[in-house]
Amino acid sequence: MAPSEALSSVVLGPDGVPEGLALSDAAGWNQTADDWRLFVEQGRVFGLRDGDTGPLVATAAALPYAGGIGWISMVLVHPAWRHQGLATALMARCVAHLGALGATPVLDATPAGQQAYSRVGFEDGFTLARWEGTVSAGASVPSAMPADATTVSKLDAQASGCGRGFLLADFLQRAGSRAWMAAGNTGFAIAREGRRATQIGPLVAEDEASALSLLQTALAGLRGRVFLDVPERWASLRGWLELNGFARQRSFVRMALGAAPIASVNDRLFVLAGPEFG
Ligand SMILES: CC(C)(COP(=O)(O)OP(=O)(O)OC[C@H]1O[C@@H](n2cnc3c(N)ncnc32)[C@H](O)[C@@H]1OP(=O)(O)O)[C@@H](O)C(=O)NCCC(=O)NCCS
């Protein structure tokens, strides 16, 4: 179904950040104004507005990474406007935009989204789960080691298969962010503030044992509700999270419209940046 003629297409600018945030808040998502700002500044957020000046009712964001990858996320439709093809239309705009940039569209889909994306040609990659837990800082809190954005970006590029140094640099400079380096600068973990919980990720390490140790260090320095998105492949990490009171909140499948190495789990990427960033 074509989007209603009562709607006007917009590309969100910096002024649209509060409206985008209102939509993700209403859906109970964890993204902050900083996340929306990043999508607007570094990518393109397609939206639909009720009339020419009415409220924003739907969004979808396309964020290009170096290495020919285009991340799609923030597919949100106000409840009153659902089932009219709005998400499908905005997704198509993201795909066309990324195609024009020569980038392969990739996303992390919920099970319901997976069916919708399969219909338009996206293919399944690996599966992952969001874990949720509550932590209280221990008696001796390890101090976060200074994280150098260049080192972190290099490690992330090797692990994620795409260049997104701007994303890591942005996470690192945000108020409330924390970062931990593994010994010998072989890995790192970043935690950033979200609307509902602190989000840990990315976490890059040499192997699963080092990843677990880095995760424990990070958790020891945090307090309150924590979310982290872990590829299902990492069974030891999953086992540890379960034993330590974390609950599986929801599952996702990584999907790509075309060939993309990022659709396979890399040996060094243990916690993702989040479904909105990959
Ligand atoms: C999911 C959502 C974006 C679908 O918006 P929509 O405009 O109603 O979807 P369309 O009419 O274009 O889509 C056609 C069908 O595909 C489904 N679909 C499309 N995109 C989807 C997606 N990303 N996730 C789940 N289902 C999706 C729709 O539910 C719809 O099925 P239905 O009409 O039989 O229920 C909307 O329900 C929403 O904002 N939900 C909350 C946020 C969310 O879950 N976003 C998706 C994250 S992956």
User: What are the domain boundaries of the chain?
Assistant: 7-102, 128-271
Task: Note the pLDDT of residue 139.
Answer: 47
Q: What DSSP string describes 23-70?
A: HHHHTT----HHHHHHHHHHSEEEEEEEBTTS-EEEEEEEEEEBTTEE
Q: How far is the CA of 268 from the centre of ligand 1 (A)?
A: 32
Q: 137 pLDDT exceeds 80?
A: no
CB atoms within 10 A of CB 261: 15
DSSP string, 128-171: EEEEEEEE---SSPPPPPPPPHHHHHHHHHHHHSSB-HHHHHHH
Q: What is the pLDDT of residues 10-41, one digit of tens each?
A: 999 999 999 999 999 999 999 999 999 999 99
The best mutation among 76, 91, 124 to test binding of ligand 1, ranked by most ligand atoms within 8 Å of the C-beta, falls on: 76
Query: 20: buried, middle or exposed (CB in 10 Å: 19+, 13-18, 0-12)?
Result: buried
Widest CA span of the chain, in angstroms? 60
Structure tokens belonging to residue 190 = 């970043």
**223 within ligand 1 shell (Cβ under 6 A):** no
Hey, whose CA ends up nearest to atom 23 of ligand 1? 113
Atom of ligand 1 nearest to the CA of 76: 39
100-112 tens-digit pLDDT: 999 999 999 999 8
Asked if residue 140 has pLDDT above 60, the reply is no
Query: Ligand 1: which atom is nearest the Cα of residue 275?
Result: 48
> pLDDT (tens digit, 9 = 90+) per residue, 164-220?
999 999 999 999 999 999 989 999 999 999 999 999 999 999 999 999 999 999 999
Class of domain 128-271: alpha beta
Does the beta carbon of 60 sit less than 6 angstroms from any atom of ligand 1?
A: no
Which residue owns the Cα nearest ligand 1 atom 4?
A: 87
Output the pTM of the full model: 0.94
Report pLDDT for 145.
Answer: 60
Q: Is the CB of 76 under 6 A from ligand 1?
A: yes
Domains 7-102 and 128-271 fall in the same CATH topology: yes
Statement: residue 234 has pLDDT above 70: yes
113 C-beta closer than 6 A to ligand 1: yes
> Helix or strand or coil: residue 115?
helix
Instruction: Reduce the DSSP state of residue 252 to 3 states and report it.
Output: strand
The answer to whether 105 and 258 have CB atoms below 8 angstroms apart is yes
Rounded CA separation 120/186 (Å): 39
φ, ψ at 19 (rounded to 5°): -70, -40
Amino acid identity, position 63? L
Taking the CB of residue 141, how many other CB atoms lie within 10 A of it? Answer: 12
Fold (topology level) of 7-102: Aminopeptidase (3.40.630)
- Closest ligand 1 atom to 91 CA: 20
What percent of the chain shows pLDDT beyond 70?
95
